[in-house]
Amino acid sequence: MTKVPNSFRPFLGTTFLIGFGFFTMGLMDPLYDTYVPIFLGKYIRSMGIVGSVMTLDNIFALFLIPIVAVWSDKIRSPIGRRMPFILVTLPLTAVCFAWLPYAAAASLAALVAAIFLLNIWKQSARGPVVALMPDIVPGEFRSEANGVINTMGGIASIVGTLGLARLMDLDVTLPLLGPSKGRLPFPIAGILVVAATALLFALVRERGTGDASAEPRVRLLESLKGIAGSGDKSALLILASLFLWFLGYQGVLPFIGKYSVESLGVSQGRAAFAAGMVGIAYALFAIPSGYVAHRIGRKRAIRTALAALTVLVSLLFFLDPLASALGLAGMGKVYLFWGLLFFFGLFWVTVVTNSFPMLWQMSRYGTVGIYTGLYYTFSQGAAILSPPLTGGIIDLAGYRGIFAFCAVCMAAAFTVMGFVSGGEPEGAVAASGAAS
């Protein structure tokens, strides 16, 4: 039996390399969430309908992520069980992502087709990409490892929102790409996704096929019955909590770019800066949040972050009177908005970094994909329900309504997490469950 190191340091380099897979998602997601609603808005007036179209990615995710993640659990190949899926789906995702703005310029039908194809490949890639880390890193170090991976996602978000997004305003004609205004970030991002995939394949080695073959293949229904029928309902409570916090988060995320343009008066090139503030916080605090949770307990870290998120989103609801009280107007108000979103990102990454490891702690090698799939079943279920709901709220009550909705969801998730008793690494402070 292989001795497990007593610190995370031996896994740090490999985890950073695995993070290139997550880098691809962090690069594409903010650009997609910021600009696809704007692309759709050229053809569709109703924000409720725009929100419904934006749920296509979540509908695909609800089915494809669990199916492909569980499928990859069962694969045995010379290059591993996750890598065959990654090598096919990520390059195809890159091609479809690069096509988006060109499809948007052509017609609504072309844009919807591009969204459709993109999300088939992107959501098929996500499960194997995410499950790669817990295959390699022991359970007690997965908060730290997930922090590293979320740092890579945060860096990608910064590259996409504060770097590539600025190229939306660039008006030049390039060979092969043609007129670039409103398009250039997407093909560049596609090239970066292909490069990241190549690095991931070249530098990361999955567990040996001999080890994998020795593990019994666990049937999906058997695993689900074990989760639902066990005396400790911690897994179900974590899934319920993450449904609630993603319900709030996904209710705001698709509209934050349009809110920035229409309510705060920023340019399209700066529309993604709001998401960029979250990305900066992600990159800065993802790794520390994993270490903090290892010290004080994952549950306590998550509940503290959820309480802070409830307060921050409530402040966003009162942004106008808050800005007036501080004597801020114009760009001063925009900077206040960005600042609040920076702190939102700081606490949000604490939730995201530590919730996945809590679920993985309850799995074993043969069921990592199943637990990964369950995470996405609940999170994407929330993401499907939320944008049409909050789009309707915007139609009826304006943008402020989505911040009130998000605050209620975060507070509810805080309450449900209070009943969780499992998911801590072995040797964690026993008092963390009771104290939080």
- % of residues, the chain, pLDDT over 70: 88
Predicted local distance difference test score (pLDDT) of residue 156: 82
Residue 398 Rama label (left phi>0; alpha psi -120 to 50; beta): left
pLDDT tens, position by position, 53-74: 877 777 888 888 888 887 887 7
CATH number at residue 163: 1.20.1250.20
pLDDT band, very low/low/confident/very high, at 222 (cuts 50, 70, 90): low
**What CA–CA distance (Å, rounded) separates 101 from 168?**
10
Is residue 37 pLDDT above 70, yes or no?
Answer: yes
pLDDT, position 419? 92
Query: What CA–CA distances, in Å, run from 254 to 38, 305, 318?
Result: 10, 22, 20
Q: What is the CA radius of gyration of the chain?
A: 21
Let me know if residue 24 belongs to a domain: yes
Does the residue 8 lie in any domain? no
Residue with tokens 């296509």: 56
- Each residue's pLDDT tens digit, 393-429: 988 888 889 999 999 999 999 999 999 888 887 655 4
Number of domains comprising the chain: 1
Report the percent of the chain where pLDDT is more than 90: 25
Position 434 confidence tier, pLDDT thresholds 50, 70, 90: very low
How confident is the model over 353-366, as pLDDT tens digits?
Answer: 898 888 878 776 66
Write the CB contacts of 108 (distance below 8 Å, at least 6 apart in sequence).
40, 43, 44
7 within domain boundaries: no
Provide the token pair at 79.
């290059």
Phi, psi (rounded to 5 degrees) for 178: 75, -155
Sequence-distant (6+) residues with CB within 8 A of 268 are 35, 38, 168, 169, 182, 261
- Mean pLDDT rounded to a whole number for the chain: 82
| Sign of the CA dihedral running 426, 376, 22, 89 | positive
Give the total residue count for the chain.
436
Q: Is residue 4 part of a domain?
A: no
In a domain, 6, yes or no: no
Between 125 and 141, residue with greater pLDDT? 125
The pLDDT of residue 365: 62
Q: Is residue 238 part of a domain?
A: yes
Provide the sign of the torsion angle of the four alpha carbons 211, 212, 213, 217, taken in this order: positive
Range of the domain at 46: 13-209+219-435
User: Domain for residue 26, yes or no?
Assistant: yes
pLDDT at position 314 is 94
Put simply, whether the predicted model's pTM sits higher than 0.85 gets the answer no
Token pair in block for residue 279 = 């990305």
Residue 370 resides in a domain: yes
pLDDT tens for each residue of 81-136: 888 999 999 999 999 999 999 998 889 999 999 999 999 999 898 888 888 888 78
d(CA 19, CA 396): 41
Report the alpha-carbon distance of residue 322 to residue 325 in Å, rounded.
Answer: 5
Query: Please, are residues 347 and 305 in contact by the beta-carbon 8 Å criterion?
Result: yes
Lowest mean pLDDT among 18-32, 290-304, 305-319: 18-32
pLDDT, tens digit, for every residue of 160-191? 777 887 777 777 776 766 666 768 889 988 99
Pick the residue with more confidence: 334 or 229?
334
Please report the pLDDT score of residue 360 as a whole number.
79
Q: What b/e sequence results for 290-309 when a residue is b if at least 16 CB atoms lie within 10 Å of its CB, and e otherwise?
A: bebbbebbbbbbbbbbbebb
CB 240 within 8 A of CB 231: no
The token pair that represents 301 in the structure block: 């870290």
pLDDT score of 223 more than 60: no
pLDDT computed for residue 369 by the predictor: 74
pLDDT at 432: 43
Dihedral angle computed from the Cα positions of residues 191, 98, 15 and 130, in that order, rounded to the nearest 10 degrees: -150
- Checking if the pLDDT of 211 tops 50, the result is no
d(CA 394, CA 263): 12
Quote the CA–CA distance of 365 and 214 in Å, as a whole number. 11
Say which residue the tokens 């993603």 belong to. 246
Distance CA 367, CA 258 (A): 40
Distance CA 239, CA 435 (A): 21
pLDDT for residue 216 is more than 80: no
Residue 38 has pLDDT above 60, yes or no: yes
**How does pLDDT run across 313-350, given as a tens digit for each residue?**
999 999 989 988 998 888 888 899 999 999 999 999 89
* pLDDT at residue 6 greater than cutoff 60: yes
